[in-house]
Amino acid sequence: MNYHVNEQGFYGDFGGAFIPEMLYPNVEELRQIYGKIIATESFQNEFQQLLKDYVGRPTPLYFAERLSDKYQTKIYLKREDLCHTGAHKINNTIGQILLAKELGKTRIIAETGAGQHGVATATVCALMGLQCIVYMGEIDIQRQAPNVARMKMLGAEVRPATSGSKTLKDATNEAIRDWINNPIDTFYIIGSVVGPHPYPDLVAQFQSVISKEIQSQLLEKEGKENPDYVIACVGGGSNAAGAFYHFLENENVALIAAEAAGKGIYSGESAATSILGKTGVIHGSKTLLMQSEDGQITEPYSISAGLDYPGIGPLHAHLFASKRAEFIAITDEEAMKAGLQLCKMEGIIPAIESAHALAVLDQKQFDRNDIVVINLSGRGDKDLNTYIDYFNF
């Protein structure tokens, strides 16, 4: 089975570029050239240099001893939370800003939900001296005030998305509309493995540094490249795509995607797309998405702003449909408990998104000698208020 994108931009039945003609020239330009640019030595040199000196890579692969004792298995944490700006998101924005520069674009747009991708985009725009406009749902702007301030300090303009449900999916719609209105000078930096081909593939490629590092770090620590399990949370799915990437073809490595079940899968307040979703088209991609019987896209819910997206990337839809990855739904309660446990047992405050991946430890039985790698995609600073409200600290 092939788990990479084919010539037409599909992963199995999922993917493609379902875009209005207005976007065709931009997306086509990118499609024709992204592979060539990424493969050049000069691009790779600059990308690798920035990942090392600016982002702080490689991030540690940390053996979590106390956690391993408790669950009677070998647990490693891939510390993406130690990246500059606090999450894996910047791996991708560094890659895309270099692409934008190569294409001669002078104006950068992005969408953001919780603000992490917005901050990572504003950061690289400041680094490169490019104009930056971030679309963010009006409701998210109210919920995530510190990240809005960070983006502004970094020189970005934050534009509220006031249409629809005023959250991430609407911010994405607004960014796409901006691109339709500014087809010549503007580059759209998408934050996850979603959107029309080639975005899911190029974002996955930029994030694949995560699994590449896991391989070399495991070789050093365990004398072998491949773990038995890789666990990551999935909203759109960029950190999971990066953590799975180099293991996709090796069926001996079990891949586990933790989805947000919110207040319960069938509570009506959930983001468990693999269970609740049906095949459809969202933001230019054919994938699994949460929708009404009539094909209207519905609003998901999760306590974690980074996981409440109504779809999943087409790669993940394919991994789900082909049973290559196991999808486990984690409730708000399970995630919060697992997040707090990591604070108390390992001295690490995780992002609530990443806490969903940690919660898989309570759902699944591992053998004593299994090597389990959990992608700790981000740190919990941004979630302090949610933690405080939830546990009444």
- For another protein, the binding residues (CB under 8 A) are 8, 16-22, 24-26, 163-164, 169-170, 173, 176-177, 180-184, 278-284, 291, 293-297
Closest contact distance (angstroms) between CB of 300 and another protein is 13
Contact 335, 304 (CB under 8 A): yes
Helix (H) or strand (E) holding 280: strand 278-282
C-beta closer to another protein: residue 175 or 357? 175
Give the shortest CB-342-to-another protein separation in angstroms: 36
Bond prior to 350 in cis (omega within 30° of 0): no
Burial of 153 (0-12, 13-18, 19+ CB in 10 A): exposed
Q: Toward another protein, which CB reaches closer, 40 or 162?
A: 162
Task: Output 81 or 178, the one with its CB closest to another protein.
Answer: 178
Q: Is 89 a known active-site residue?
A: yes
Find the catalytic residue in 74, 89, 105, 286: 89
State which amino acid sits at residue 179.
W
Quote the radius of gyration of the chain (alpha carbons, Å).
Answer: 19
Give the count of beta carbons closer than 10 Å to the beta carbon of residue 85: 21
Q: Is 286 a catalytic residue?
A: no
Output the smallest distance, CB 312 to another protein, in A.
15
Helix (H, G, I), strand (E, B) or coil at 79: strand
Query: Which residue in the list 102, 111, 334, 346 is annotated as catalytic?
Result: 111
Smallest separation (angstroms) from another protein to the CB of 309:
13
Helices (H), 263-325: 273-276, 314-321
| Nearest approach, Cβ of residue 288 and another protein (Å) | 12
Q: How far is the CB of 111 from another protein (least distance, A)?
A: 12
CB 67 within 8 A of CB 355: no
Quick one: tokens of 12? 């199995």
Kindly tell me which of 262 and 310 has the beta carbon lying closer to another protein.
310
Distances (CA, A) of 165 to 21, 52, 295, 380: 25, 39, 16, 26
Q: Which is nearer to another protein, 40 or 279 (CB)?
A: 279
- Residue with smaller CB distance to another protein, 21 or 41: 21
- Residue 264 region by backbone torsions, left for phi larger than 0, else alpha for psi between -120 and 50, else beta: left
Neighbours of 65 (CB within 10 A): 12
Strands (E), 201-276: 229-233, 254-262
* Residue carrying the six token digits 């959250």: 167
Q: Which one of the listed residues 192, 208, 354, 377 is annotated catalytic?
A: 377
CB of 176 to another protein, least distance (A): 5
Q: Is 7 a catalytic residue?
A: no
**Token reading at 35:** 């592979």
Phi, psi of 309, rounded to the nearest 5 degrees: -115, 135
Judge contact between 248 and 315, C-beta under 8 A. Answer: no
Catalytic positions: 89, 111, 377
